[in-house]
Amino acid sequence: MSKDISRRTFLKGAAALGAAAALNIGIKAQAEDAPPAEESTPEVPDWLGTAPGITDDMCAETMEADVVVIGAGVSGIAAARAASEAGASVIVLERMETITIRGQVFGCLDSKLHKELGAEYDKQEVVNEICVAQGNRVNGALWTKWANESGPAFDWFESIVDEEDTYFLEYWPNPEAYDNSTELRKQYCTGIEFTADGWIHANTRQYEKSVEQGAQYLFSTMAMELIKEDGVITGVYAQREDGSYIKVVAKNGVCLTTGDYSYNEEMVKALCPEFWLATGGKVGTVPTSIGYGSRMAIWAGAMMEPGPHAHMSHSFMGMMGVKNTATLNLNLKGKRYMNEDCDGQSFTNQVIRQPGHVGIQVWDNNWQDMLWHQGISHVAPYPPTTDFEAMQANFDKAVESPSAFLAGANTLEELFEIMGLPVETAVASVERYNELYHGGKDLDFGKRMDRMYPIETPPFYATRSMTAASLITAGLVVDEELHVLDENFEPIPHLWAAGNAAGGRYAAEYPVSPVVATSHGTAITFGRSIGKQIAADDE
């Protein structure tokens, strides 16, 4: 279902919660230090708009539950299952016709599977690595919560999954040549991977379980405005597909799990312009990510976390070739531009800063040995399960019928011609790379020598990067128990947020090093925590 939710529609209504509240976007401290300004009405950013101004008398029906969950993605379903398990009555509002599930990996520490396999890590070390990687712009307490609760959350999630929906721990055991302690970007094995279908089944089971426990899902019903009485969130006004409004009273509280804003052009351009760059000037690919939930919370006094907003757009560098492997990388000018020993998101971060936002990966016929000596981050090859013969067949085809996305050739000149690179410069870059290799040190970018492979043995291969721009992983300011905070950093009573509606988790980037799949990992862990808290009526 697609509703007309343009700003014009909302401006028709009264600004129920006021423009000043609407401007709470992490700028209060600055305002306090500034000299007193003359009274003026703060300007409402275009992306924010104002609340539609729905009232009780506009509603055709009133419903009531202990817990109201807004958004039936992975975090909302986890909240609904946990709350109904604890005996609370639950209503879930979802604007689409069905639940929203995508991907296939759950990032956690210390699950039963981790323990069985001996993949155990020092949790504080992992949390520190994450905080450092995020430029210390994140909420360390939230990450500690994830480190402590994600394993039990996975075990809880897994306990009702059908047997045929199997899963495994990514990159475990680590390849022999891999030693985390020597890595520039460390990798703790957090990703428990299902098949894509298995992940859908596994989450459908969570949904079904919550329904069995009494949770009521109202599909094709869009939450439009939070109800705030005497400073407390007491419910939400929502709109049905036929245009009628309903009032849903939340006795204990509201859990906001409405996802991100990557499909909202105004919000992306204003709050995460780098995402715009990563997509080549388009909104994201997830139509449910409209950012309405965040706007609704800001109308009720919440704050959006300050920038930079992080996005998930990890590159499938060489997906058709040797994936995220530390091969030589050239830009469209034929020049090398980075230490290629990095994870998928770091590839993207550098590729989008290159001409045309494109990277070209180059390697030679000694690729099999190279794969055994790579890092193990998301979308890097895992040699123990890699089908080397199938890859070779793919590369042979690339020599017979090369394309600009995967080409093979017996001379570098021919290869770069096909890839559309300035041949002389590109060949000089390869010669320089080979010279650094034989000299025993990467004086240009500092790549470790055991990941430098000279490009000398034909056929030579090249592939073009692809950026998988997905989502924006920033949201509302929350505390370590996921209460949504107001401009004074005080919890807005009875309002919680999880999943991509909540901030505090990512700032520099959506990391695929030092941990993977923490988007689902935090969404489900925190959704579950909120469900339990609201059911227990914890303020």
Ligand X SMILES: Cc1cc2nc3c(=O)[nH]c(=O)nc-3n(C[C@H](O)[C@H](O)[C@H](O)COP(=O)(O)OP(=O)(O)OC[C@H]3O[C@@H](n4cnc5c(N)ncnc54)[C@H](O)[C@@H]3O)c2cc1C
Provide the binding-site residues for ligand X, judged by CB under 6 A.
Answer: 70-76, 93-96, 100, 102-105, 107, 222-223, 257-259, 286, 288-290, 292-293, 312, 470-471, 499-501, 517, 519-520, 523
User: Could you check whether the bond before residue 491 is cis, i.e. omega within 30 degrees of 0?
Assistant: no
Question: If you search the block for the tokens 């990966």, which residue do you land on?
Answer: 361
Q: Indicate the residue among 95 and 447 with the shorter CB distance to ligand X.
A: 95
Least separation in angstroms between residue 106's CB and ligand X is 7
Q: Which is nearer to ligand X, 261 or 453 (CB)?
A: 261
- Strand-pairing partners, residue 70, are 93, 256
Tell the smallest beta-carbon distance from residue 475 to ligand X (Å): 8
Nearest distance in Å: CB 441, ligand X:
37
Which among 489, 468, 493, 467 has a CA at the least distance from the CA of 478? 489
Among residues 478, 502, 510, the alpha carbon closest in space to that of 344 is found at 510
For residue 459, the minimal CB distance to ligand X (Å) is 33
Judged by beta carbon, residue 74 or residue 535, the one nearer ligand X is 74
Closest distance between ligand X and the C-beta of residue 104, in Å? 5
User: DSSP E strands: which ranges in 326-373?
Assistant: 328-330, 360-363
Question: Quick one: 312 or 380, whose CB is closer to ligand X?
Answer: 312
CB of residue 273 vs ligand X: minimum separation in angstroms? 20
Residue with smaller CB distance to ligand X, 74 or 83: 74
Cβ closest to ligand X, residue 21 vs residue 471: 471
Find the distance separating the first CA and the last CA of the chain, reported in whole Å.
Answer: 34
Nearest residue (CB) to ligand X, 88 versus 501: 501
Instruction: Name every residue whose Cβ is closer than 8 Å to that of residue 72 and which is 6 or more positions away in sequence.
Output: 80, 92, 94, 96, 98, 99, 100, 207, 217, 219, 257
CB 435, min distance to ligand X, A? 40
Q: Tokens 């005080």 belong to which residue?
A: 490
**HEC letters along 410-430:** CCHHHHHHHHCCCHHHHHHHH
Written as one letter, the residue type at 298 is I
How far apart are CB 397 and ligand X at their closest, in Å? 27
CA dihedral over 326, 332, 338, 343, signed as positive or negative: negative
Q: At what angle do helices 196-212 and 74-85 cross, to 10 degrees?
A: 30
Tokens of 393: 């067949």
In the complex with ligand X, which residue's Cβ is closer, 11 or 423?
11
Q: Which helix (H) or strand (E) holds 65?
A: strand 59-70
CA torsion 431→433→434→435, rounded to 10°?
80
In angstroms and rounded to an integer, the radius of gyration of the C-alpha atoms of the chain is 25
Q: What is the dihedral of CA 89, 93, 98, 102, to 10 degrees?
A: -100
In the complex, minimum distance from the CB of residue 102 to ligand X, in angstroms, rounded to a whole number: 4
Least Cβ distance, residue 167 to ligand X (angstroms) = 12
- How far apart are the C-alpha atoms of 34 and 43, rounded to whole Å? 17
Backbone angles phi, psi at 237, to 5 degrees: -95, 140
Q: Which is nearer to ligand X, 96 or 131 (CB)?
A: 96
CA separation for the pair 465, 450 (Å, rounded): 23
Strand, helix or coil for residue 278: helix
Q: Which is nearer to ligand X, 139 or 258 (CB)?
A: 258
State how far the alpha carbon of 332 is from the alpha carbons of 358, 425, 464, in Å: 7, 10, 10
β-sheet with 167-169: strand ranges across:
105-107, 191-194, 167-169
Nearer to ligand X, 74 or 495 (CB): 74
User: Rounded CA gap, 241 and 387, in Å?
Assistant: 49
CB of 145 or CB of 520, closer to ligand X: 520
Tokens of 466: 């692809």
Min CB(471)–ligand X separation in Å: 5
The minimum distance between CB 177 and ligand X, in angstroms, equals: 26
Cβ nearer to ligand X, comparing 254 with 462: 254
**Minimum distance of ligand X from residue 288's CB (angstroms):** 4
Nearer to ligand X by Cβ, of 447 and 483: the residue is 483
Smallest separation, CB 189 to ligand X (Å): 14
DSSP one-letter string for 450-487: GG-----SSSEEEEE--B---EE---B-B-TT-EEEBT
- In sequence order, which ranges of 170-272 are alpha helices (DSSP H)? 196-212, 265-271
SS3 277: helix
